[in-house]
């Protein structure tokens, strides 16, 4: 009973993600989000709470999306190196492609000093931990594919560092070919 919602919350979260990605947390105004999504402020507050809570919802949703995709790509059969290369390569169009070099919402949030809120930090740390854990698990499972002395844990972390660096630099516009060349060079560490 009662009046039903006139909008799909997921759609609003998509729009909000775009705005947060483009403007950053502070500079993204709720007026901009309501204008872009077409719904009015009271509806937004009723559905998601205040700005901070909305951002947290958007961020968690973003994290879940990337993690789900990473799980799929990293679970594929064949050499671990190919899976990880594909995982890294998958970010190239996502962050420096046609949609514009907007970088990664999570990294932007992590480097945004105004967001030292505990919940945001926790969400980001959990996300990074889980990503790295996926890499580590795959490298450990396939450690027989590598030379003696290969360190799966360290290499997983190094791949995370490279990933983070690429996503950060992508924000200021990277050349896709160069990004791919870096990925290929780093992949020689998986031997």
Partner DNA sequence: TCCGTTATGTACTCTGTAGTACACAATTGG
Partner DNA sequence: CCAATTGTGTACTACAGAGTACATAACGGA
Cα gap 64→109, rounded to integer Å: 16
For residue 13, the tally of other CB atoms under 10 A from its CB is 19
125 lines the binding site for a second copy (CB under 8 A): yes
Q: CA 111, 102, 67, 57 torsion: positive or negative? A: positive
Q: How far is the CB of 106 from DNA (least distance, A)?
A: 20
143 lines the binding site for a second copy (CB under 8 A): no
2 lines the binding site for DNA (CB under 7 A): yes
The DSSP annotation for 51-93 comes to HHHHHHHHHHHHHHHHHHHHHHHHT-SS-HHHHHHHHHHHHHH
- Largest interatomic CA distance in the chain: 66
The only residue of 47, 67, 160, 182 in contact with DNA, by rule CB under 7 A: 47
Q: Of DNA, a second copy, none, which one sits near residue 24, judging by CB under 5 to 8 A according to partner kind?
A: a second copy
Q: What are phi and psi of 130, to 5 degrees?
A: -70, -40
154 lines the binding site for DNA (CB under 7 A): no
Q: How far is the CB of 7 from a second copy (least distance, A)?
A: 25
Q: Mask of contacts with DNA, 48-87, x by CB under 7 A?
A: --xxx-----------------------------------
- Residues in contact with DNA by the rule CB under 7 A: 1-7, 27-31, 39-43, 45-47, 50-52
């Amino acid at each position: 009973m009662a009046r039903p919602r006139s909008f799909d919350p997921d759609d609003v979260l998509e729009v909000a993600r775009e705005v947060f990605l483009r403007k950053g947390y502070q500079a993204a105004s709720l007026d901009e989000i309501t204008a872009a999504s077409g719904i009015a402020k009271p509806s937004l507050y009723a559905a998601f709470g205040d700005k901070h809570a909305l951002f947290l919802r958007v961020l968690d949703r973003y994290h879940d999306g990337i993690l789900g995709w990473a799980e799929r790509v990293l679970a594929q059969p064949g050499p671990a190196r190919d899976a990880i290369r594909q995982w890294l390569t998958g970010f190239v169009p996502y962050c420096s492609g046609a949609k514009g070099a907007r970088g990664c919402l999570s990294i932007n949030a992590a480097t945004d000093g105004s967001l030292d809120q505990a919940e945001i930090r926790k969400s980001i740390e959990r996300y990074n931990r889980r990503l790295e854990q996926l890499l580590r698990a795959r490298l450990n499972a396939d450690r027989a594919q590598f030379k003696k002395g290969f360190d799966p844990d360290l290499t997983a972390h190094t791949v995370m560092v490279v990933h983070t660096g690429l996503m950060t630099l992508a924000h200021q516009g990277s050349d896709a070919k160069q990004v791919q060349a870096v990925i290929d060079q780093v992949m020689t560490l998986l031997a």
